[in-house]
Amino acid sequence: MRKKLLATVVGTAAVLAASSMTSAQELNFDEYRQMLRDGNPAELFEMEGEELWVTARGPKNATLEQCDLGLGPGVVEGAAAQMPRYFADTDKVQDLESRLMTCMETLQGIDSKEIIDGRFRQGERGKVAAIVAYVTGQSHGHKINVDLSDPKVKDMYDLGEKAFFYRTGAMDFSCASCHSQDGLRIRATGLPNITTPEGAAEGWGSWPAYRVSNSQFWTMQHRLWDCFRQQRTAEPIFGSDVTIALSVYMAGKGNGGEAVWPGVKR
């Protein structure tokens, strides 16, 4: 049984999506999650992203190799673990996705509007996701290390905390309605208590992730978009301040925890 499921995971995740629920129910969920990690198809996205990083593209026909993710132009290793962070050139606290938009626009001439108004997994926004897979993979195993001593980052943390507890929408839910209790689980996905350092590190440190159930790779922007939807509230604008503030809150609270990027989820 175990061998069979493992082979399915490594082989075709799509097949697993169809068969996983019955198999998973017979398994211990921790064991199931470990097996998923052993054959994470996110590697394919990492490879695509690495290729995109070094490929000359856009109206300016340039690569992303001079992109500054906070540790200097072109430094990728460990950079994601220290994001979101404040960038002087844009005078903004940026998460990885919004920073990549800046690099793509300034270096390659790719209009951010195309990404902001685009759709997940398609066009330039889809390419951003692959690059996110590559960049976060270069922080795999690093400790989450967001600089809350920077006042601009701290401001965003405070805003993110407010947003996290802000009740809105038809159901009057906040993020906290679903993410402030220990030991919750929906199907095979643990619902971490994001108001604790351990839970915040678990949530922040495991996205972006490959989702076996639909064979899709989702960045944190995509994860948040879906949670806004679960909260029955207005769709957030891609890369907007509220999404970045929520990320700063989760990352900052999770400081010191381990990033297992890219993750793999049911």
Question: Quick one: which of 177, 196, 216, 255 contacts ligand HEC (CB under 6 A)?
Answer: 177
Interface with ligand HEC (CB under 6 A), residue total 23
For CA atoms 10, 11, 13, 15, give the dihedral sign: negative
Q: Is 261 in the site for ligand HEC (CB under 6 A)?
A: no
The residue (of 52 and 175) whose beta carbon lies closer to ligand HEC is 175
Q: Is 264 in the site for ligand HEC (CB under 6 A)?
A: no
Give the contact letters, 197-216, x = binds to ligand HEC (CB under 6 A), - = no.
Answer: -----xx--xx---------
* CB 187, CB 234: distance < 8 Å: no
Angle, alpha carbons 46-52-55 (nearest 5°): 145
Residues 145 and 82: their CA atoms lie apart, in Å, by 5
**For residue 90, what are its two tokens?**
């844009």
Q: Is 239 in the site for ligand HEC (CB under 6 A)?
A: no
Q: Is 173 in the site for ligand HEC (CB under 6 A)?
A: yes
Q: Burial level of 260, CB count in 10 A (0-12/13-18/19+)? A: buried
Min CB(111)–ligand HEC separation in Å: 27
Q: Is 71 in the site for ligand HEC (CB under 6 A)?
A: no
Active site residues: 227
Give the rounded distance of the alpha carbon of 38 from its chain centre.
19
**For residue 166, what are its two tokens?**
């802000």
Q: Is 227 in the site for ligand HEC (CB under 6 A)?
A: yes
Angle, alpha carbons 98-103-216 (nearest 5°): 55
Min CB(250)–ligand HEC separation in Å: 6
Of the candidates 55, 57, 89, 58, which has an alpha carbon nearest to the alpha carbon of residue 73? 89
Q: Which stretch binds ligand HEC (CB under 6 A): 23-31, 54-62, 151-159, 222-230?
A: 222-230
Min CB(38)–ligand HEC separation in Å: 18
Min CB(108)–ligand HEC separation in Å: 30
* The residue to which tokens 């990549």 are assigned: 100
Question: Quick one: which of 63, 189, 196, 215 contacts ligand HEC (CB under 6 A)?
Answer: 189
Residues 94 and 86: their CA atoms lie apart, in Å, by 6
Which residues of the shown chain bind ligand HEC in the complex (CB under 6 A)?
173, 175, 177-179, 186, 189-192, 202-203, 206-207, 223-224, 227-228, 230-231, 246, 250, 265
